[in-house]
A and B are shown apart, each in its own frame.
Chain A
Amino acid sequence: MRFVLRRLGSMVVVLVVVSFLTFLLMNLLPGGPEVNYLGPLYVEDLSLCEGTPTGDLARGCAETIDLRDKLNLDKPFFERYVSWVGNALTGDFGTSYRQEGVAVFDIINEALPTSLWLMVYAQVIAFVIAIPVAIYSAYRVGRWFDRGATAASFGVIAIPPFILALLLIYFFAVKLGWFPTVYDPDAEAVERLRSMFMPAFTLGLGLAAVYARLLRTDLVATLQEDFILMARAKGMPTWHILLRHALRPSTFSLITVAGIQIGALIGGALVVERIFSMPGLGTIIVESVLSRDYQVVQGAILLITAAYVAVNIAVDLVYGYLDPRVRHARAAT
């Protein structure tokens, strides 16, 4: 229990620091959100407005001062930070500068399912590839398939996601035209699976390599256990031994790592969504950083960090619950 509380406490600290850093960083970026509203009329250097400006400058000055006032940009930094955090706690992340007036919460809320689907899909693809490969590799340890799979996993791991994405686009979209990447959030399940295949595969293939190596190693170890030898002596069919007896005890570290990978997936989704122009959180964050829509960036980062830290804690807790050694170690503190 103390352990849980401590982890939650550290989560709060992390979130406070991250939110502060985010806020600071976004405020340091050159070129404010005013540009989005005012374009060439934005007067960055307000000393130009002294005296009696004329023509478009007069208009620019008036609009800029007005807008800064409206957006509270002239308030002290710390005051703005506190009010932002205060609002964020009530679910109010402010409104977007780019899609003027649209609540940041709604933007994130709309994009979130896309990102979540992508991550789940990537995990599924990873498992679908990894489990059979691992089982067959373990079944024929050291044979050509095993060696090939090991070599392939090394190769796969060395392909940067954006290059993998490019290869997929080249072969499946440009050459074969099988999987163009028109993602439709309202489409039926089958269509959605098709339209999300390439981005999910890009994310999933790297994971599959990791999972396959992991599971194979554990399976090989399990297959040496006495109860497997016993089962074999009893004349059970090989597939039955592999699937029914060996697989389950071997998946412990796989499941742990799969949980941990959610953190990496959040990061990976940022890149992959952008490449495949999917309207998920990643696309929104990158676009927003570039267009200085920092209300959106702040909200999204806070959310991602919270999710990331929470997943970490959850994995820790589950792991601790599953593994008695860890439970005892914790009890000792």
Chain B
Amino acid sequence: MPERLPDSALSEPLTSDAVFHEAPAEVVADALVAEPGGVAGEVEGALKRRLGVAFWIAVGWLVLITLLAIFAPVLPLDDPDAVGSGGKWEGTSGEHWLGTDNLGRDVMSRTIHGARVSLVVGFAAVAGGLVVGGFLGLVAGFKGGWFERIVIALADILLSFPALILALAIVTFLGRDMWKIVLALGILSIAPITRLSRANTLQWSQREFVLAARTLGANNRRILFREVLPNVLMPMASLALIGVAIVIVAEGTLSFLNVGIDDAISWGKLVFEGKDSLEQAPHVAFVPAGAMFLTVLALNFAGDRLRAHYDVREGLL
């Protein structure tokens, strides 16, 4: 299908950017477009075979922050809601390692509890998007025909809608508790994931072993789930990590626009709360912002390395 080449090669980096202009989206764009070649290709080709120290540092950070988030309730942390646990806007001290916020609450504790929400939102929304979008893309890429046309047309329409406004409207309509935000961001992630999954499926369903299976008389469902899916899964998982980063930032952006989660503290909300006291107490905003940055960086990096490792062909996306 020569016709697909210009279409997908061009619009993919654009459309996979959820219009939030989150930087991680550009990683996708970047990763997709900047296919290594020449000398640089050789250098990066070497990297491709091993994941590298930096990769494991990134994974280490992700594991650490996840463990902290999971065990936050049992860790010897201050109650994140304990008003007046310290004074207002205190700096670093033995009692409050990362200082206190405007109500004298422990910033470190709040940041760690914020990780619970941000990570859950990120992973849950992308997981939801993967289930729906991944399946649609898989079937579309494999079956082709009218089904593919319709799915891709729908995805394109969703993608041409300014995502931030869509999120804003969905959230205003549904409400702002955590799972509704997850739902809203999950819905937004369906279209780009559908396209990625379809592109990956296309790539694999042309491979020799699929043709071989077909020649051997395997039926479609068997080929799809036994031959194609396992191969699509890892590249999709690596891209999903980048997706999680995008969603975490998207949630933060919603919070920052004052339309985020209302019943729990996320990183975005903590940053938003802290921004009014930049002059008096910059740490209140910058500690959660730092945690968010490191996590997004780690997710991007790990995702990017995995993608290179599994040799996701950009041209076909």
- Interface of A toward B, CB cutoff 8 Å: 10, 13-14, 17-18, 21-22, 25-26, 28-30, 141-142, 154-163, 166, 169-170, 174, 203, 206-207, 209-210, 213-214, 216-217, 220-221, 224, 253, 256-257, 260-261, 263-272, 274-275, 285-286, 289-290, 297, 301, 304-305, 308-309, 312, 315-316, 319-320, 323, 325-326, 329-330, 332-333
Contact = CB atoms under 8 A, between A and B. Distances in A.
B252 A160 contact: yes
Given A163-B289, A214-B30, A264 B19 contact: yes
Interface of B: 2-3, 5-7, 10-11, 13-15, 17-27, 29-30, 33-41, 43, 153, 156-157, 160-166, 168-170, 172-173, 245, 249, 252-253, 256-257, 259, 268, 271, 275, 278-279, 282, 285-286, 289, 292-293, 296-297, 300-301
A266 B19 contact: yes
18 contacts: A14-B156, A25-B173, A163-B271, A166-B286, A166-B289, A210-B26, A210-B29, A221-B38, A221-B40, A260-B14, A264-B19, A264-B26, A271-B253, A271-B257, A272-B21, A316-B11, A332-B2, A333-B3
Contact of A305 (B30, B160, B245, B296): B160
B285 A166 contact: yes
A49 to B, nearest CB: 26
User: Which 3 residue pairs of A and B lie closest in terms of their CB atoms, listed nearest first?
Assistant: A268-B21, A267-B19, A221-B38
A301 B29 contact: no
B210 to A, nearest CB: 24
Contacts of B285: 166
A158 B166 CA distance: 23
Contacts of A253: 33
Given A217-B34, A269-B21, 16 more contacts: A156-B23, A157-B26, A158-B27, A159-B23, A160-B249, A161-B23, A213-B30, A217-B40, A257-B29, A260-B29, A270-B162, A270-B164, A301-B165, A308-B160, A315-B10, A319-B10
Contacts of A266: 19, 162
A28 B173 contact: yes
Contacts of A319: 6, 10
Contacts of A25: 166, 169-170, 173
B21 A329 contact: no
Given A160-B249, A160-B292, A224 B2 contact: no
Contacts of A209: 23, 26, 30
A159 B293 contact: yes
Contacts of A261: 14, 29
A38 B282 CA distance: 41
Given A154-B301, A214-B33, A270-B164, A264 B293 contact: no
Nearest to A328: B2
Residue among B17, B25, B157, B296 having the largest count of chain A Cβ atoms under 10 Å = B157
A264 B14 contact: yes
A271 B289 contact: no
A271 B163 CA distance: 11
Contacts of A285: 162, 165
Contacts of A156: 23
Contacts of B173: 25, 28-30
Contact of B292 (A163, A169, A224, A270): A163
Nearest to A306: B160
B164 A271 contact: yes
Residue among B14, B252, B286 having the largest count of chain A Cβ atoms under 10 Å = B14
A221 B38 CA distance: 5
B311 to A, nearest CB: 17
A286 B171 CA distance: 13
A267 B292 contact: no
B282 A170 contact: yes
B270 to A, nearest CB: 11
B21 A170 contact: no
B22 A160 contact: yes
Contacts of B245: 158
B30 to A, nearest CB: 5
A31 B250 CA distance: 25
A88 B166 CA distance: 21
B297 A154 contact: yes
Nearest to A260: B14
Contacts of B161: 18, 21-22, 301, 305
Contacts of B166: 25
Nearest to B19: A267
A271 B119 CA distance: 22
A199 to B, nearest CB: 12
Contacts of B279: 174
Contacts of A265: 21
Residue among A14, A26, A209, A256 having the largest count of chain B Cβ atoms under 10 Å = A14
Residue among B163, B168, B170 having the largest count of chain A Cβ atoms under 10 Å = B168
B297 A162 contact: no
Contacts of B282: 170
B6 A312 contact: no
B271 to A, nearest CB: 7
A206 B165 contact: no
Contacts of B13: 257, 260
Contact of B172 (A29, A161, A301): A29
Contacts of B5: 325-326, 329
